[in-house]
Every structure is written in structure tokens, then in C-alpha cells.
């Protein structure tokens, strides 16, 4: 069976739906137009043709350039607390551990060291 990514079964047909560059593309393929399997095949072909024409989905193309909106330091696991100190956070056996530092540079170095020790 082919992948059914972006294709859902509706009450009377298949629905193909996806978004590219903020615009939604969708089309409905009725079971009555050749049966369940034939309409599914047409839906898959239409989806594949549209995806090829429009290209792959682009992630995080906005002004933050790949950084999550809640990431103020630019390094995963390093943040600034409300008291103005930098915090390095990591997980050991499912338990979150953290340590505070005066400078961002110290926190980043410690976080990277912990990543190396855990890998």
C-alpha cells in the first residue's frame, strides 16, 4: 500500500489536503467516480504531482532563522532566568538537571560538556 500522507478518508471519498507557503491546497476524490481503490489512486497521483510542482515544505524561513521562538540564547538547553543568571539544563535518566552561571559563555560550555558526557 502506498503512503497515505496528507490523504484522509471522508464519508464519500478521499480528501487530499496540505499547505505550502501559507496557502492550502485540497481536492476531494469521490468513491462514486470509479470505486474506493481507483479514487484513492487518483488522490495519490494528484498529491504526488502537486508536491513535485510546489516543492518540499520549507521549515522556519522567518526572521528567527531556525531558532525556536522561546530560545533566547541560540543554544538548546541554555536560557536566562528571571534573576539575570544563565541556566544550563540537561536530562539524565529522565530527570531534568540544571546549573546556573554568571555568563552565557560558561553556561554554553557546561551544556556542551554535559552533552558529550551523555553521548
Question: What is the per-residue pLDDT across 42-97, written as a single tens digit (0 to 9) for each?
Answer: 999 999 999 899 887 766 555 655 566 667 778 888 998 889 999 999 998 889 99
Torsion, CA 77, CA 79, CA 83, CA 85, rounded to 10 = 80
Better pLDDT: 65 or 8: 8
Handedness of CA 10, 15, 18, 24 (dihedral sign): negative
pLDDT in the model for residue 61: 56
- String of DSSP letters for the chain: ----TTEEE-SSEEEEEEEETTEEEEEEEETTTT-HHHHHHHHHHHHHHHHHHH-SPPP--STTTT--TT-SSSSTTEEE-TTS-EEEEEEETTEEEEEEESSHHHHHHHHHHHHHHH-
Q: Kindly list the domain boundaries of the chain, sorted by start residue.
A: 7-54, 78-118
User: What integer is the mean pLDDT of 12-25?
Assistant: 88
Could you give phi then psi for residue 118, rounded to 5 degrees? -85, -15
pLDDT in the model for residue 28: 95
Full-model pTM: 0.49
d(CA 52, CA 90): 40
User: What integer is the mean pLDDT of 100-112?
Assistant: 94
Report yes or no: 78 and 104 within 8 Å, Cβ to Cβ: yes
Better pLDDT: 58 or 22: 22
Amino acid at each position: 500500500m502506498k503512503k497515505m500522507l496528507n490523504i484522509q478518508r471522508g464519508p464519500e471519498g478521499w480528501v487530499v489536503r496540505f499547505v505550502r507557503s501559507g496557502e492550502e491546497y485540497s481536492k476531494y476524490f469521490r468513491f462514486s467516480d470509479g470505486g474506493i481503490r481507483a479514487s484513492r489512486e487518483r488522490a495519490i497521483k494528484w498529491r504526488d504531482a502537486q508536491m513535485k510542482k510546489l516543492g518540499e515544505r520549507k521549515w522556519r524561513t522567518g526572521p528567527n532563522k531556525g531558532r525556536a521562538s522561546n530560545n533566547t540564547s541560540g543554544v538548546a538547553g541554555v536560557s536566562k532566568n528571571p534573576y539575570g543568571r544563565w541556566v544550563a539544563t540537561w536530562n539524565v535518566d529522565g530527570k531534568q538537571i540544571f546549573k546556573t552561571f554568571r555568563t552565557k559563555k560558561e553556561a554554553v560550555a557546561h551544556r556542551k560538556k554535559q552533552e558529550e558526557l551523555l553521548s
